[in-house]
Amino acid sequence: MLRGLYVHIPFCRTRCHYCHFVTTAELSPVLRERFFIALKHEIHEARRRYGSLCFDTLYLGGGTPSCLSIAEMTDLWETVHAHFKVKEGSEVTCEWNPGDGDEEKLAALAALGINRISLGAQSFQDSILKRLGRRYLVKDIFSSVEKIRTAGISNISLDLMLRVPGQKFEDFHHSLETCLALQASQVSLYDLEVHPQTVFGKLQGQGRLHLPGEEEHAGMYQDAIKVLTGAGYEHYEISNFSKAGFASRHNLIYWRNQEYLGLGPGAFSYLNGMRYQFAEGLDRYLQKCEGAVWRNDQQDVLSDAEKETETLMTGLRLREGIALSEFPKISGSILKRVKELCDEELLEEKTGKVRFTDRGKFLSESVFGFLLQKDGIS
């Protein structure tokens, strides 16, 4: 059983038009200082509660960790390592926005031990980046990849977005080909989700947001499978493709329903059978840490059947699939639905394991909804 550590950095230089994450574009030194003091309190509290936990992966996400200064990153690194053990040889990822940071910062991070960068490329068309409210150009993605490699970090994962307003099949295909040309170790696909409080949410409310249709969207997804697997990438999770040996170890912890500690505003943790969120938003997080109010905002202690249901749902996302025999407590109605989905060729059972078919992968959200219909958890 592996265990991961996630640290959420809630700062971005600007807000993207679709962003609903816990992040702020207010970068005042006072707020940053408050945040880092609060984070140290939370780390200290986690150490008091759990002892010196040992982690197999560390993931700095956000927000935009790449907007931290070298001094902030070093201080965070030292605090984490003073309170917990991060195993030798761990995968240590930092999310990075193209255009952020120079060679000096990347070299400093590599020297600290960061060995994987998740680069939020999203698209290789300037017009689409502008539409998304991203603050860089395609040339900045290329130059970031070059700087990351020069710093000695060779494990680079690229994010690409589908279902962007105005995005055409050819645009997406070109982005896929560019990921290959850049020799990304992993390509992660994200469907644009529209949330009400975002710029896109407001446009949608006014009837002014036009997303690609379902057929076009499905065509892009199938193209990703064809292009990336054709180039030797393993389609190891519904939305993730990696070169052999480069599947994200941290994300595999989530998909295998193993333990993780999440620090920072909005972060979730799953430890000792309990899933919880300490604080939902940044203001609340600061107030709670400053007042030493350590009660969680949300928490669920999972029953054995609930744990099995979650493990089945997350495990189904993986190419390796799941062996139904390993789920003795799962409800009969879920098993019955799994069989129905196999009959409809959305899932398939091979060598004792159930997994998605390619058609099922595209319809995965509906499949999960069907599996979890209200009598799903016994």
Instruction: Determine, following the binding rule CB under 6 A, whether residue 21 of this chain makes contact with ligand SF4.
Output: yes
| CB closer to ligand SF4, 133 vs 219 | 133
For the CB of residue 347, give the shortest distance to ligand SF4 in the complex, in Å.
32
Give all strands (DSSP E) within the chain, no chain letters. Answer: 3-9, 54-62, 85-96, 116-122, 155-162, 186-191, 234-237, 240-242, 259-263, 268-271, 274-277, 298-301, 347-350, 353-356
For the CB of residue 317, give the shortest distance to ligand SF4 in the complex, in Å.
22
List phi, psi (to 5°) of 359: -65, -40
For the CB of residue 64, give the shortest distance to ligand SF4 in the complex, in Å.
5
Instruction: Determine, following the binding rule CB under 6 A, whether residue 144 of this chain makes contact with ligand SF4.
Output: no
Q: For the residues of 271-314, what is the DSSP string, one character each?
A: ETTEEEES-SSHHHHHHHHHTT----SEEEEPPHHHHHHHHHHH
| Count of CB atoms situated within 10 Å of the CB of 142 | 16
Instruction: Determine, following the binding rule CB under 6 A, whether residue 190 of this chain makes contact with ligand SF4.
Output: no
- CA 194, CA 164: separation in Å to the nearest integer? 10
Site string for ligand SF4, 338-377 (x = CB under 6 A): ----------------------------------------
CA torsion 59-64-67-73 (nearest 10°) is -20
| CB closer to ligand SF4, 23 vs 311 | 23
Q: How many amino acids of this chain bind ligand SF4 (CB under 6 A)?
A: 10
Q: Which residue's entry shows tokens 């099995």?
A: 308
Instruction: Determine, following the binding rule CB under 6 A, whether residue 318 of this chain makes contact with ligand SF4.
Output: no
Residues paired with 300 in a beta bridge: 275
Instruction: Determine, following the binding rule CB under 6 A, whether residue 202 of this chain makes contact with ligand SF4.
Output: no
Sign of CA pseudo-dihedral 67, 19, 80, 83: positive
Q: Taking a C-beta distance cutoff of 8 angstroms, is the pair 145, 104 a contact?
A: no
Instruction: Determine, following the binding rule CB under 6 A, whether residue 266 of this chain makes contact with ligand SF4.
Output: no
Task: Give how far Cα 347 sits from Cα of 18, 186, 254, 289, 364, Å.
Answer: 31, 25, 21, 45, 10
Kindly tell me which residue out of 7, 9, 19, 73 binds ligand SF4, with binding defined by CB under 6 A: 19
Kindly tell me which residue out of 7, 9, 12, 224 binds ligand SF4, with binding defined by CB under 6 A: 12
**Token pair listed for 78:** 């030292």
For the CB of residue 129, give the shortest distance to ligand SF4 in the complex, in Å.
11
| CB closer to ligand SF4, 15 vs 307 | 15
For the CB of residue 39, give the shortest distance to ligand SF4 in the complex, in Å.
17
Instruction: Determine, following the binding rule CB under 6 A, whether residue 131 of this chain makes contact with ligand SF4.
Output: no
Residue type present at position 168: K
Residues 25-84 that bind ligand SF4 (CB under 6 A): 62-64
Site string for ligand SF4, 85-124 (x = CB under 6 A): ------------x---------------------------
Residues that bind ligand SF4 (CB under 6 A): 12, 15-16, 19, 21, 23, 62-64, 97
